[in-house]
Amino acid sequence: MEDKKVLLIVEDDLGLQKQLKWSFEAYQTVIAGNRSEAVAALRRYVPSVITLDLGLPPDAANASEGLKTLQELLDLAPASKIIVVTGNDDRSNAVKAVAMGAYDFYQKPIDIDILNLIIDRAFQLNQLENEHQLLQKQSTEPLVGLIASCEKMQGLCRTIEKISPTNATVLLLGESGTGKEVLAKAMHGLSDRSTQAFVAVNCAAIPENLLESELFGYEKGAYTGAAQQTKGKIEYAHNGTLFLDEIGDLPILLQSKLLRFLQERTIERIGGRKEIPVDVRIICATHKNLEEQIEKEKFRLDLYYRISEIVINIPALRERDGDAITIATAFLKRYCLLHNKKIKSFSSEAAAAIESYSWPGNIRELENKIKRAVILSEDINITLHDLELEKSSESAMRVNLKEVRESAEIIAIKKALVHSKNNISNTAKLLGVTRPTLYSLFEKYRIQINE
């Protein structure tokens, strides 16, 4: 039964329910008699195809209950193919249902052979769409330098891929250590400017009295010690990408000069009079709340509008389910190779602690912990003591059972991979599943394996 395709039939007529269930034995047929039963069945079985009688009670006369049900099912499962079934005199509602997003419609009286063809075609289309989405996800690895497996970060990667070929100015927001520069470099690498320079400037790391000359350059004799003409970072980024990190720390006086550059795309070196055109893609980043900075008059509102054509919020590591152990494993391999260590993996307690720790310093803190542990460890596995972490405690339970199950499966698979040193057969044994089942889980959760 589990291997059969799931067909949800939403029909209030008991006789027709039996007929349809008997007629479609090739599928795992689930019956619902009203909207609440349909929604419950949808949440439980996630059917690929649904047949929906638009004349559901209590208002069979105008099919409003059926249309309400259709809208709710579309909201919950937009990928499911919904075939609405109507009476002979109800074509207008059928057309309305298709306009709302239904896959197709069929008019009573029901001809099982014809309806079966429609359902079979819907299953085929659903399968093709799923395969296409899977190919799209597998056709490109996560962005260069980025290690991510959770849905939230996968979605962010897709957004980055879409905006990278454009010249839109992007503002990356996120806590310190979340990988803002990694994403900026990935955008540069995916753009048609990838063969040109990527120039990064940390606005918080350069003293205020030097930052202007660092950005805009200066002419010979512009001030004491200016012995020769020097280009600024903006000029060096010509035809490439300029990454302004921690732009929230840019001094207010420099903000107006940067704003002028963003508007005119020309600069003047300090001590110069000549306007120099510069073609550059701008990517900015900050961990600060710029709206609060604007209220405190520490950041210009007009500059904010210039740099925020597209805003991307990068989640903290604690918000990325399952990513901590994946990233930790990658760092472990990197630093073992760098320091010529033979450490195999993490102890079970260490792996659990990595998953449960909140990582206030995000990926930077995780990397530092792993680097230190690799250098100091004298065992074949990294322990809690090596990581200087406490033993994990149970986290709060989530409400949605589907999320709990999927999250638990991902964590269990990654734990088993860590314990088995990425040996597929041993991982399958630890999990109590067959190798084909394990490979299907890898595909389902897009878990990459480096054997």
If we measure between CA atoms, which residue out of 407, 392, 315, 325 comes closest to residue 357?
392
| pLDDT tens digits for range 363-416 | 999 999 999 999 999 888 899 899 988 776 544 334 456 666 777 788 788 878
Q: Is the dihedral of CA 8, 12, 17, 18 positive or negative?
A: positive
Angstrom CA distances, 363 to 124, 224, 320, 385, stand at 42, 42, 11, 20
Buried b (16+ CB within 10 A) or exposed e, 411-442: bebbbbbbbbeeeeeebbebbebeeeebeebb
* Cα distance between residue 55 and residue 65, in whole Å: 7
Place of tokens 């067959």: 434
CB-count burial class (<10 Å; 0-12, 13-18, 19+) for 155:
exposed
- Are 359 and 318 within 8 A, CB to CB? yes
Quick one: pLDDT at residue 432?
82
137-144: long-range contacts, CB 8 A cutoff, minimum separation 24: 137/446, 138/446, 141/448, 143/182, 143/183, 143/186, 143/189, 143/190, 144/185, 144/186, 144/189
Tell me the H-state helices in 320-361.
323-338, 348-356
Residue 327, CB-side half-sphere exposure with 13 Å CA sphere:
28
Per-residue pLDDT of the chain (451 residues; tens, 9 = 90+): 446 789 999 998 888 888 888 899 889 999 999 988 998 888 888 899 999 998 776 544 455 788 889 998 988 888 899 999 987 667 788 888 888 889 998 888 888 999 999 999 999 888 887 776 665 544 444 466 677 777 788 889 889 999 999 999 999 999 999 999 999 999 999 999 999 999 999 999 999 888 999 999 888 877 777 778 889 999 999 999 999 999 999 999 999 999 999 999 999 998 888 899 999 999 999 999 999 999 999 999 999 999 999 999 999 999 988 789 889 988 998 999 999 988 878 887 888 889 889 999 999 999 999 999 999 998 888 998 999 887 765 443 344 566 667 777 887 888 788 777 788 888 888 888 888 888 888 888 778 776 5
Phi then psi dihedrals of residue 139, to 5 deg = -70, -25
CB-count burial class (<10 Å; 0-12, 13-18, 19+) for 344:
middle
If we measure between CA atoms, which residue out of 107, 122, 129, 132 comes closest to residue 53?
107
Paired residues of 7 in beta bridges: 29, 49
Quick one: pLDDT at residue 1?
42
Q: Is the pTM of this model over 0.95?
A: no
- Are 232 and 276 within 8 A, CB to CB? no
Quick one: pLDDT at residue 349?
85
Contacts of residue 368, defined as CB under 8 A and 6 or more positions apart, other chains included, come to 361
DSSP string, 361-379: THHHHHHHHHHHHHHH--S
| pLDDT tens digits for range 39-48 | 888 888 889 9
- Are 103 and 11 within 8 A, CB to CB? no
Quick one: pLDDT at residue 392?
61
N residues, the chain: 451
CA 6 to chain CA centroid, Å, is: 28
Residue ranges and CATH numbers for the domains of the chain are 6-136 (3.40.50.2300), 151-315 (3.40.50.300), 318-445 (1.10.8.60)
Paired residues of 277 in beta bridges: 266
- Are 424 and 413 within 8 A, CB to CB? no
- Are 142 and 182 within 8 A, CB to CB? no
* Cα distance between residue 266 and residue 254, in whole Å: 15
If we measure between CA atoms, which residue out of 54, 136, 62, 159 comes closest to residue 97?
54
